[in-house]
Amino acid sequence: MVGAGQLARMTYQASIPLRVGFRVLADTATDSAAQVCADVRLGDYHNLGDLLAFAAGCDVVTFDHEHVPEEHLAALEAAGVPLAPGGGALRYTQDKLAMRAELTRLGVPCPRFTPVADVADVTRFAEQAGWPIVLKAVRGGYDGRGVWVCDDAFAAGEVLAHGIALLAEEYVPFRRELAALVARSPHRQGAAYPVVETVQRDGVCHEVLAPAPGLSAALAEDAQRLALEIADALGVTGLLAVELFEAGGGLLVNELAMRPHNSGHWTIEGAVTSQFEQHLRAVLDLPLGAPRPAAGQTVMVNVFGGQDPDLYDKYIHVMAADPGMKVHLYGKAVRPGRKIGHVTVTGSGAGEQNLAALRDRALRAASYLATGKERGE
Amino acid sequence: MVGAGQLARMTYQASIPLRVGFRVLADTATDSAAQVCADVRLGDYHNLGDLLAFAAGCDVVTFDHEHVPEEHLAALEAAGVPLAPGGGALRYTQDKLAMRAELTRLGVPCPRFTPVADVADVTRFAEQAGWPIVLKAVRGGYDGRGVWVCDDAFAAGEVLAHGIALLAEEYVPFRRELAALVARSPHRQGAAYPVVETVQRDGVCHEVLAPAPGLSAALAEDAQRLALEIADALGVTGLLAVELFEAGGGLLVNELAMRPHNSGHWTIEGAVTSQFEQHLRAVLDLPLGAPRPAAGQTVMVNVFGGQDPDLYDKYIHVMAADPGMKVHLYGKAVRPGRKIGHVTVTGSGAGEQNLAALRDRALRAASYLATGKERGE
């Protein structure tokens, strides 16, 4: 796996019972996954030589992120290195304009969009789509970075001044955000997880509710089918996470990711097969595991760093306060606002009250780990 | 952790989300846990120098097995190395005569027993307890090794001819075998898992049914209380597994282990806190996790090596046949009869039919992994 962040760390855990040999390409020996893997190679994923040396002896190479340059992906494939997903599929996670164009060609419902080069382009688009509009970096955005909601031409001009390639999208007044996670293997086996609700703050995922509460069976099935169809059409090997807006009684595709995804961390405890095991199975062309839930309801909440770099006391208090809370720490140095872990809690029921209690427990634990305080204190 | 077998391998997995630094002392780099741990030290646990070098810089030292010589445990403690469990507790897993004497002193129900030095001793004991009697090695037995059921004085004489220290025990015509797994922390917090039934063949655990089907609430509570009391009385830190006979409407203690135990592998999927996470929490004096079940019924079946050293095709077939089966392989070379992994399956119901179906699935998968055949083929 190229990249040694928390996704590689959790994928490594899943590789152990499967008896899968696992090597990671890390920037430094202190990277999240590099701390725990037995086979760590240090190198720079921007450097083709490092990538080729890393891949030597691997049956297949997969990715913790989508930042390996497109030309290096092509060069690896030309050198006979099997990539999963391949460069042809990964392209749609690296270039949002290509993604939007391809999904539109496939008839997948998306927000209206257009490439923009100057304020006149944005204004023309806004005359049809209405203000506010959303500007997005064509390349390199994630976790809310590279996304700007603009109320007027002046705000758009400030974003355009960054001098990066941009597209404009209509602003969708969505009811909520959903995510559909599927896996696809080279044998074209597919598996679809229950559709979840993701609760964002400032464009960053904070909570995941699995399954999405109150989602109609018809919409859930639509979302799963859509994700499986996109995975097939784009030739994805491994996981595909499709971030969706629920709006106007239907679904619109927001973003794609082709790797284990934050919206799937709940599957470690909440599904029969975790997304990390599933990604390995798909990438290695093993039969896929059952994606069905292992609990009635699961809530995952991300843990962000607070001011205090020392987590230890807070970690003990959370364990003592809630013995059923599953705490996952990524081994990352604490910095304010940095994603350093997550907590997960499962419940047997499926009712609203039960969900509210689970969310309360998980939000408390995550807040306490970050700040040493209960929420609202 | 001293020892790098599958117990250390699975404990290592559990250490990753807890962000616990984990070092293993392995005989060779190909040991089960040495294949996956990031911090492996090679050395011989029979050698005090190796043990002291290994322990340097560790906050606490725990064990994958009970074979570290008693005098080395004492020397480590004299050198200020914190052991969990300590040498005073581990003694009762190393010396079956000391264990029987101490449990009897504590009023814990056990089979009748006596040390024996010659055939006359055995015959005298059998006159009271009746034939057959059970001879056990005082030291070093496990997984059915070091246990002999003797029908008469002649058979006993053959065992005595080995020249090892032995005790004789009455042969208990038990209804079934149970196991009670508890954890105890230095703060004296305790946690008791649901009592399970263990199904043995030739003294080796084959199946674990969790919770033990049809066990009365009163007996289950007795078993849990007994295990917690023994843990407290012996000063155990970490896990204590108490193997029990259900006989004559009551319980008798058969064996003790103070480490993660085969009868607790089901907890990885079947309990909110796995035994491996619980052992780490107890050993590090962190608050214990909830031991409650995460599923209605869980069945674990051990996988033993067959004739074919190559597992790959069988592994794929098992995954394809049963996408809900959790396969755990230990990275051990296949040898006939060697424990190389286990499979676990969970179900939501608790009825007898449901249990029979789960057992059938797990036994099929384990049989297929071993032999490439369905059971009975």
Residue B93 lies in a domain: no
Boundaries of domain holding B271: 176-371
Condensed to tens digits (0 to 9), the pLDDT of residues B304-317 reads 999 988 999 999 99
Residue B98 lies in a domain: no
Give residue A352's pLDDT. Answer: 77
Give residue B375's pLDDT. Answer: 67
- In chain B, the N- to C-terminal Cα span, in Å, equals 41
Q: Do strands B326-329 and B196-201 pair parallel, antiparallel, or not at all (unpaired)?
A: unpaired
- In the structure, what pLDDT confidence band is assigned to residue B143 with cuts at 50, 70 and 90? low
Residues A363 and A312 occupy one common structural domain: yes
Residue B1 lies in a domain: no
Chain A residues in contact with B327 by the CB 8 A cut-off are 17-18
| Phi and psi angles of residue A239, each rounded to the nearest 5 degrees, phi first | -85, 150
CB contact under 8 A, B319 and A289: yes
Residue B96 lies in a domain: no
Which helix (H) or strand (E) is B168 found in, with range?
A: strand B166-170
Residues A353 and A263 occupy one common structural domain: yes
Chain A residues in contact with B35 by the CB 8 A cut-off are 38
A286 token code pair = 């093993």
In 3D space, the residue among B244, B261, B242 whose CA is nearest the CA of residue B300 turns out to be B261
What number is the average pLDDT over the span A118-145?
Answer: 90
A260 three-state secondary structure: coil
Residue of B nearest to A320 (CA): B287
Residues A123 and A229 occupy one common structural domain: no
Residue of B nearest to A268 (CA): B269
Q: Do strands A166-170 and A204-210 pair parallel, antiparallel, or not at all (unpaired)?
A: unpaired
Residues A297 and A357 occupy one common structural domain: yes
Count of alpha carbons within 13 angstroms of residue B263, beta-carbon side:
29
B137 three-state secondary structure: strand
Residue A278 lies in a domain: yes
Q: Which amino acid is at B36?
A: V
CB neighbour list of residue B174: distance below 8 Å, 6 or more residues apart:
B245, B246, B247, B252
Instruction: Give the separation between CA A3 and CA A65, rounded to whole angstroms.
Output: 7
A319 three-state secondary structure: helix
* CATH code of residue A357: 3.30.470.20
Residues B157 and B304 occupy one common structural domain: no
Residue environment code for A246-266, b if the CB has 16+ CB neighbours within 10 A, otherwise e: bbeeebbbbbbbbbbbbbbbb
Residues A224 and A182 occupy one common structural domain: yes
* CATH code of residue B156: 3.30.1490.20
Residues A144 and A72 occupy one common structural domain: no
Residue B101 lies in a domain: no
- Residue ranges of chain B whose CB lies within 8 Å of a chain A CB: 9-10, 12-13, 16-19, 35-38, 40, 191, 269, 272-273, 281, 286-290, 292, 294-295, 315-316, 319-320, 323-324, 326-331, 346
Rounded mean pLDDT of chain B?
95
Q: A188: how many CB neighbours lie within 10 A of its CB?
A: 10
Region for B331 from its dihedrals, namely left if φ exceeds 0, alpha if ψ lies in -120 to 50, beta otherwise: left
Q: Is the model's pLDDT at A212 over the cut of 70? A: yes
Give residue B349's pLDDT. Answer: 74
Q: In chain B, what percentage of residues exceed pLDDT 90? A: 91
Give residue B351's pLDDT. Answer: 76
Condensed to tens digits (0 to 9), the pLDDT of residues A336-369 reads 999 999 999 999 877 777 999 999 999 999 999 9
Residues B216 and B314 occupy one common structural domain: yes
Domain final residue pick, B83, B101, B122: B83
Residues A73 and A25 occupy one common structural domain: yes
CA distance readout (Å), B89 to A257, B95, B189, B237, B257: 52, 11, 17, 8, 10
In 3D space, the residue among A40, A6, A67 whose CA is nearest the CA of residue A333 turns out to be A6
User: Would you say B288 and A323 are in contact if contact means Cβ atoms under 8 Å apart?
Assistant: yes
Condensed to tens digits (0 to 9), the pLDDT of residues B355-364 reads 999 999 999 9
Condensed to tens digits (0 to 9), the pLDDT of residues A254-296 reads 999 999 999 999 999 999 999 999 999 999 999 999 999 999 9
Domain final residue pick, A170, A195, A218: A170
Residues A75 and A201 occupy one common structural domain: no
What number is the average pLDDT over the span A176-182?
Answer: 98
A257 three-state secondary structure: strand
Condensed to tens digits (0 to 9), the pLDDT of residues B192-238 reads 999 999 999 877 889 999 999 999 999 999 999 999 999 999 999 99
Condensed to tens digits (0 to 9), the pLDDT of residues B63-104 reads 999 999 999 999 999 999 999 999 999 999 999 999 999 999
Domain final residue pick, A153, A170, A187: A170
* Distance from chain centroid for Cα A25: 20
Residue A101 lies in a domain: no
Rounded mean pLDDT of chain A?
95
Q: Is the model's pLDDT at A60 over the cut of 90? A: yes
Domain count, chain B: 3
Q: Is the model's pLDDT at B142 over the cut of 70? A: no
* CATH code of residue A31: 3.40.50.20
Residues A299 and A181 occupy one common structural domain: yes
What number is the average pLDDT over the span B283-312?
Answer: 95
Residues A164 and A182 occupy one common structural domain: no
In this prediction, the answer to ipTM > 0.90 reads: yes
